[in-house]
């Protein structure tokens, strides 16, 4: 993967950093004496959790592809799906927690489907094995 791997490592690292920032804000930056604050915390924690899991998954895909255990083309599809999921699913929850429009909640399932598809492509990339 070479330069492409570095790109994905940077993307994963930045996604992980955003996840930690959002998680810290959820723990320390909200008024938890209100129902709205509690709901916002739950949304932020859920989004942060899924974003971190998939940041780590992107790093894992890079490592496995670098070890030539995956079909690279399929692994790249999995990476893109994890990234799309990491923008749409947590992004929708983050938006809702900061007062974004309620219809934005409908975006979260699309991100969830991208996560699922990413895991399926990763499985296929492993099954197909080494190759471009």
**pLDDT, mean of residues 34-54:** 96
Predicted pLDDT of residue 132: 60
**pLDDT, mean of residues 15-22:** 98
Predicted pLDDT of residue 77: 98
Q: Where does the pLDDT of residue 45 fall: very low under 50, low under 70, confident under 90, or very high at 90 and above?
A: very high
Q: Where does the pLDDT of residue 2 fall: very low under 50, low under 70, confident under 90, or very high at 90 and above?
A: confident
3-state secondary structure of 71: strand
Q: pLDDT over 90 for what percent of the chain? A: 91
Predicted pLDDT of residue 126: 97
**pLDDT, mean of residues 4-29:** 96
131 phi/psi in degrees, rounded to 5:
145, 165
Predicted pLDDT of residue 131: 64
Residues with Cβ < 8 Å from 118, sequence gap 6 or more? 54, 57, 77, 78, 79, 80, 81, 82, 85
**d(C-alpha 94, C-alpha 108), whole Å:** 10
Straight-line distance from the first to the last Cα atom of the chain, in angstroms, rounded to the nearest whole number: 10
Predicted pLDDT of residue 1: 56
User: ∠ CA(55), CA(114), CA(121), 5° rounding?
Assistant: 85
**pLDDT, mean of residues 2-9:** 92
Q: Would you say the pTM of this structure is higher than 0.75?
A: yes
- In the predicted model, is pLDDT for residue 76 greater than 70? yes
């Amino acid at each position: 993967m070479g330069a492409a791997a570095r790109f994905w490592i940077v993307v994963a690292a930045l996604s992980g950093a955003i996840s930690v920032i959002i998680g810290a804000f959820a723990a320390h930056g909200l008024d938890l004496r209100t129902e709205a604050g509690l709901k916002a915390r739950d949304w932020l924690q859920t989004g942060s959790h899924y974003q971190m899991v998939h940041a780590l998954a992107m790093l894992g895909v890079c490592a496995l592809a670098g070890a030539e255990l995956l079909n690279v083309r399929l692994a790249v599809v999995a990476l893109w799906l994890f990234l799309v999921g990491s923008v749409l699913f947590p992004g929708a929850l983050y938006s809702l927690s900061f007062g974004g429009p309620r219809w934005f909640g409908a975006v979260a399932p699309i991100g969830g489907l991208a996560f699922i598809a990413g895991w399926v492509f990763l499985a296929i990339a492993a099954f197909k094995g080494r190759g471009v």
